[in-house]
C-alpha cells in the first residue's frame, strides 16, 4: 500500500507570491492534517480535514488555507508569502477521525521563500 505522497518535494518562491502544496493520503484514509516544521517553532499544527470539511485549525494567519477533495486528497495554500514561511510542510493521514488511530506522515515539502 502506498504511503502518504506530498508534492512537490522542494519549492523556492519569492516573497509576495502564493504557493499550493498537495497531499495524497494513504488509500482509504479520510482524515488529513497539515503541520509546519521550523527550527525555531518546531512542529506546529496547521489544520485538519475530514470529509472535505476543515475540522480544526491551528494558530496561523488567514494566509494559510486548505481544502480536501472527495477522494480525500488535500491541498494547502499560502498566499502573500513571507520569509518566515520558509519551512518543511508535512501532511499526515489517518484512517478515522476518532481517537487512538495512528497518523502517518509524508516526506514533506521543503518551501524556501527568498
* Binding-site ranges for another protein (CB under 8 A): 4, 6, 31, 33, 35, 37, 42-45, 48, 50, 55-56, 58-59, 88, 90, 92, 94, 97-100, 102-108, 110
Could you tell me the smallest distance in angstroms from the CB atom of residue 83 to another protein? 18
Residue closer to another protein by CB (options 73, 110) is: 110
Q: How far is the CB of 88 from another protein (least distance, A)?
A: 6
- DSSP 3-state percent helix, strand, coil across the chain (nearest 5): 5, 55, 45
Sorted by sequence, the CB contacts under 8 Å of residue 99 that are 6+ apart come out as none
Closest distance of CB 40 from another protein, Å: 11
Of residues 15 and 97, the one with the C-beta less far from another protein: 97
Three cell numbers written together for 69: 477533495
Evaluate whether 69 touches 8 at the Cβ level (below 8 Å): no
19 vs 50, beta carbon nearer another protein:
50
Identify which of residues 35 and 64 has a Cβ nearer to another protein in the complex: 35
Distance CA 70, CA 88 (A): 26
Q: Which three cell numbers stand for residue 38?
A: 521550523
Amino acid at each position: 500500500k502506498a504511503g502518504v505522497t506530498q508534492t512537490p518535494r522542494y519549492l523556492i518562491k519569492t516573497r509576495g507570491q502564493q504557493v499550493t502544496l498537495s497531499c495524497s493520503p494513504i488509500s482509504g484514509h479520510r482524515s488529513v492534517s497539515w503541520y509546519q516544521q521550523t527550527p525555531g517553532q518546531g512542529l506546529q499544527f496547521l489544520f485538519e480535514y475530514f470529509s472535505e470539511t476543515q475540522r480544526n485549525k491551528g494558530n496561523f494567519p488567514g494566509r494559510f488555507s486548505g481544502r480536501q477533495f472527495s477522494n480525500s486528497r488535500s491541498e494547502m495554500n499560502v498566499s502573500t508569502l513571507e520569509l518566515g514561511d520558509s519551512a518543511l510542510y508535512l501532511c499526515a493521514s489517518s484512517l478515522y477521525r476518532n481517537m487512538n488511530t495512528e497518523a502517518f506522515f509524508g516526506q514533506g515539502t521543503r518551501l524556501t521563500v527568498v
